[in-house]
Amino acid sequence: MSEPVVRIENVSKVFRQGGLFNRAPGFKAVSNVSLSVAKNRTLGIVGESGSGKSTLLRMVLRLIQPSEGRILVNGAEIWSLRGGELKAMRRQVQPIFQNPASSFNPRQTIRAILAAPLEVHGIGSAAERRERITTLLRRVGLDPAIENRLPHQLSGGQKQRIAIARAVILGPSVVLADEPTSALDVSVQAQVLKLFADIKYDFGLTTIFVSHNLAVIREVSDEVAVMRRGEVVEQGEADRIFEDPQHDYTRELLAAVPSPAFMASA
Amino acid sequence: MSTAIRKPFNWRRWRLVVTGGAIVGTILLLAILAPWVAPYSPFDLNVAQMLKGPSATHLLGTDELGRDVLSRVIHAARLSMMVAVLASLVGLVFGTLIGTLAAYFGGIVDLILMRLMEILFSFPAILLAIVLMASLGTSIFNAMIAIGIIFIPGFARLARATAESVLRQQYVEQARAIGMSHTRILVREILPNILAPLLVEAAVAFSYAVLLESALSFLGLGAQPPDPSWGNMLNTGRGFMGVAPWLSIVPGAAIFLTVFGFNMLGDGLRDAFDPQLRDE
């Protein structure tokens, strides 16, 4: 078996509480989690709010440092990377965030927003960047003229399409999505998920997809990890988890889904 | 002609800005055009015309050395405006820098910077100004620096609070995740989004700077005679309150009008920028 693209080894995160003089015991958001994702596969992480799934994702994005454990991307431990290696890792791993309203700088045009990753990594001339932005906007199903607009002039679905375009503009190998569709209504959600799946296939991405929505997780994932209070209670192939859940909590979650008909259609 | 439908001008929303702006604009214009607008030189002595009340030749009377009060009050506006602009700028620039850095880096940086700001804050403004002037030396330039330093903690607190709310936005995390440098995140993502409340604060600081400069000049620490300043004019006027009340009333009224105008402008801008009040 080949080396997984993302490997999370015994990772924990404790958030310190209290101030300078009183040390509270701290809150354990993620507790001894080990997961890995193989190339071109999608790992779905499902759990209710507060289960630590977003914290885990932020650690893989190298935004929060784990209290314990190691995170490897393409075989390299991300917190030991410095300088050029770190920059290369930043280029390989891209996020898509949950809230389309706050994931764009409200004062920048779509063009400036999409050009930022290219500028940071010094890719292409101004003309080449423009070309790439236009191509990508078309690819995510938007009129390239949209590049002159400001984020608040776009709908939620349009914004998430832009977010997907931004996530792949650097040609990453890993995309980490934190509830990218939870703020959208159901019909738009289905379109965005379809686009996400297409883009994933076209760009050969390895992805981790975090959601509290089981229907969404089932649609996008090859493997699923179920998180509860910072721990992974069950993990395995998506079909196996959904058809033959072993852990009580997974059964509870599945039973709590309102309509099986919706799940089947999603 | 544009065919786009424009929202009608909302007078209620902008009335404070327009009125305050008009007052401030007039004073600024007078200050800039002082040499051309003032009827006399502010320095010309005329001992024969000492302490004369308002008349056709001297609209606002003359002072104890026979100088034209109207001309002096107009020239004094130059100095006051210059001090107010530069002091507010010093406060705005350094306060924003300190507050934003404190919010962005957090932890020990935040702790040290903000405790320093609190120490500055804990002194009464005028006392701090006097101490600073005593160590810097007496000149109008130093008065400006001293007033600017007094403003820094206020701007720093506001900048920090606003920056904290911007930092929680996902576009800042996004910027970090694509590997944007700290400087670039601060300049590109954070600064443009915290500027509006800081500019409103600057308008308020401006009026306070006029007051402080007058107070310092009144105490003899700001503008040095014979340069006219509203503060030192008041100070001189004090001695002639009984025989020539216009010497005190004129610069006093100038200070009042300026402060009033800037406060109105500041309040108006704050309301106009507030999205909650946008479409009433």
Contact A102 B176 (CB under 8 A): no
Angstroms from A245 CA to nearest CA on chain B: 34
Q: What is the C-alpha to C-alpha distance for residues B170 and B189, in angstroms, rounded to an integer?
A: 11
Structural domain includes residue A108: yes
Compute the distance between CA of residue A147 and CA of residue A133 in angstroms, rounded to an integer.
8
Residue A149 belongs to a domain: yes
| Nearby residues of B159 by Cβ (< 8 Å), 6 or more positions away | B95, B96, B97, B98, B99, B100, B103, B194, B198
A105 min Cα distance to partner chain B (Å) = 6
pLDDT of residue A266: 46
CA distance A110 to A106: 10
Residues B211-259 have pLDDT tens digits of 888 888 888 888 888 888 888 888 888 889 888 999 999 999 999 999 8
**Chain A within 8 Å of B182 (Cβ-Cβ)?**
no
pLDDT value of position A20: 59
Which residues span the domain enclosing A24? 6-265
Q: Which 8-state DSSP code applies to residue B53?
A: P
Chain segment B94-104, per-residue pLDDT in tens = 999 999 999 99
B178 and A94 within 8 Å at the Cβ level: the answer is yes
- Is B3's pLDDT higher than 80? no
Please compute the mean of the pLDDT values over residues A167-188 and round it to a whole number. 88
User: How confident is the model at residue A173, as a pLDDT?
Assistant: 92
Average pLDDT, chain B: 87
pTM for this predicted structure: 0.80
The domain total for chain A is 1
Tokens found for residue B17: 């800005």
Percent of chain A with pLDDT over 90: 42
CATH no. for B71-275: 1.10.3720.10
Q: What CATH number is given to the structural domain containing A87?
A: 3.40.50.300
State pLDDT tens for residues A197-215: 999 999 999 999 998 888 8
Confidence of residue A21 (pLDDT cuts 50, 70, 90): low
Domain boundaries, chain B: 71-275
- Kindly state whether B108 is in contact with chain A, defined as any CB-CB distance less than 8 angstroms: no
Task: Answer for the pair B17, B269: CB distance below 8 angstroms, yes or no.
Answer: yes
CA B19 to chain centre: 17
What ipTM, to 2 d.p.? 0.84
| Residue B189 DSSP class | I
Least confident among A16-25, A141-150, B7-16, B251-260: A16-25
Least Cα distance to A54 among A17, A28, A29 occurs for A29
Q: Which residues of A touch B171 (CB under 8 A)?
A: 102-105
CB interface of B with A, residues 132-171, below 8 Å? 169-171
- pLDDT tens digit string along A32-52? 899 999 999 999 999 888 888
**Cβ <8 Å between B179 and A87:** yes
Find, among A219, A186, A74, A88, the residue nearest to B179 by Cα: A88
The reply to whether A92 touches chain B by the CB within 8 Å rule is no
Whether A141 maps to a domain, the answer reads: yes
Residue A1 lies in a domain: no
Contacting residues of A for B188, CB less than 8 Å apart: 105, 116
Q: Residue B183's closest chain A neighbor by CA?
A: A120
- Look up tokens 């709010």; give the residue: A49
A97·B174 Cβ contact <8 A: yes
pLDDT band at B2 (very low <50, low <70, confident <90, very high): very low
What does the pLDDT read at residue B109?
94
Please, are residues A206 and A60 in contact by the beta-carbon 8 Å criterion?
A: no
- CA distances (Å), B269 to each of A106, A197, B82, B197, B211, in order? 20, 47, 22, 9, 21
Mutate to test the interface with A, among B108, B162, B170, B189 (most CBs of A within 10 A): B170
Q: Phi and psi dihedrals of B196, rounded to 5? A: -55, -55
Burial A159-181 (b: 16+ CB within 10 A, else e): bbbbbbbbbbbbebbbbbbbbbb
Q: What is the mean pLDDT of the segment spanning B151-180?
A: 92
